[in-house]
Structure 1
Amino acid sequence: MKKWHLIIDVEKCVDCNNCFMSCKDEHVDNDWPGYTRPQPRHGHRWINIMRAERGQYPLVDVSYRPTPCMHCEDAPCIHASKGSITKRADGIVMIDPVKAKGQQELINACPYQAIWWNQEQDVPQKCTLCAHLLDQGWKQPRCVQACPTSALRAVCADDTEMSRIYTAEKLEVLKPEANTQPSVFYKNLYRFNKCFIGGSIAANQKGIVDCIEGAKVTLLQGKDKLTETLTDNFGDFKFDQLAENSGKYVIQVQMPGFPAAEVTLELTSSKNIGTIYLS
């Protein structure tokens, strides 16, 4: 049985908010009987774009993570809903706007904070993946259609095909510890939830301090060599996808014609170690 999934590439999201605005355009002041009541003009973010800044000046990056309902296979909201929330055969989790009326407590049942309370309509609401449009034959929901960078991708596939895509594209899910089996998958999620160590290599050559291109920089933890890279033409290097609070690291620098250099640091969050000068 084919089911709908959403793949979100964090690296491609530029926080343009087209997905958010297209969701508003589709649902604000529009009642879709059997699917959902009108979305409030303000307050609700059925696709909520979260932001994360990493590093320190001048080595800083910012990433954005669109976060809709995860349309979980084992959705906690369904278990808490007294029959007012169901999962369709195509994988879309739906809140019945009639049966869920008055159940404000359901907003606390979602571990992803994806359910919102509509005070005017007296009903909990969330992303429906534009089920009303998909049922009319649309090939994708509005948010996917509106994304100019292809950061969002809707895929209708069976479990075998989705498993292949998951492995091939190195996808991840939010909060795997929640064990909800989401149908929303993320690519390049490390940009949001992992750390980096970066810096620059320079040297004083004949009285002129200049950046060093092509220096070999090696990252070690304890006696284990994790990875290595070469500095770019600005003398910069960066090691990414490191866990927060992951302990002590050693950076070794080698460049023909210069003595080797070494720096030790404790990693708590993304770190710009500045410039390492080769003597």
Structure 2
Amino acid sequence: MEKLLTYSLSIFLFITAGCHQKQGIRFDHLSDEEKSAKLQELDSIKNYYYQGSRIKQALFDTLMVLDPLNADYLQEKSVTHSKIGDYHVAIPLLEKAEELNPSETLYYYSWLMTNLYKDYEKALIKLQKYDDLTPEEVDYAWGENVNFLKGKMHQQLKQYDQALQEYDYYISSEGEENVDIYVFVYRGITHMENGRYKDALADFEKMLTLYDKSSMAYYYKGITHLQLADTASALEALLHAKTLLEKGYKKTDPYKEVYNEVHLMQVEDKLAELD
């Protein structure tokens, strides 16, 4: 136990030295072989510490001193700063990581802008840049289809024609049987917002044939019927949405806000308007 505490203390002192490099503390006294050995040693233990802990952040600072061209260290350190809202620290780290390794960094960076930062214009720039790296391949950002994500960004910016192009390409390139079925809801919402109500209803019906408990599809189906002045059909669809939401059928995500998310109070307010 004593040896373990001594080892942990020595590691902490070493990585703390890395944190204060800007104050003049360097590793010039180490040979290249010693630096390489120390880098391997610290890299092998970094996952034993909690993300965001003082010692792990200090560890990344030291790793970046020992290996300043490693984009993974920059990106991993940025993750904690993103989660706690230190964007002024996280973004420069990601920009530097992108310079060093655009493919691997943009895989995460473009998704981050899309789903957590909600910076639609910057997200589109990063998604397009990532997509352009492999123009002949279907690309994924943190596991999500790039065209689907681009469609959502264009939709949020009210660039409806571009959004529809991305959704259509996603469906055609992947095949209807392989896509995230919520693409039909998002394409339907885009049609609705663009005044193409019949196309919107067709997409919501498509979704409901695939998953008949989608409160999201029923809600926007009801809103579309209201645009067509079909109050009876709107009421029926909204009541379906309300019932499903009360039973817990709701598109949600524990890590991020869902685009065009539907809440029970939202449906109840719309029903009250009809009354």
TM-score by length of structure 1 reads 0.25
Q: Which has the higher contact order (CA 8 A, sep 6+)?
A: 1
Question: Larger % of strand: which?
Answer: 1
TM-score by length of structure 2 reads 0.26
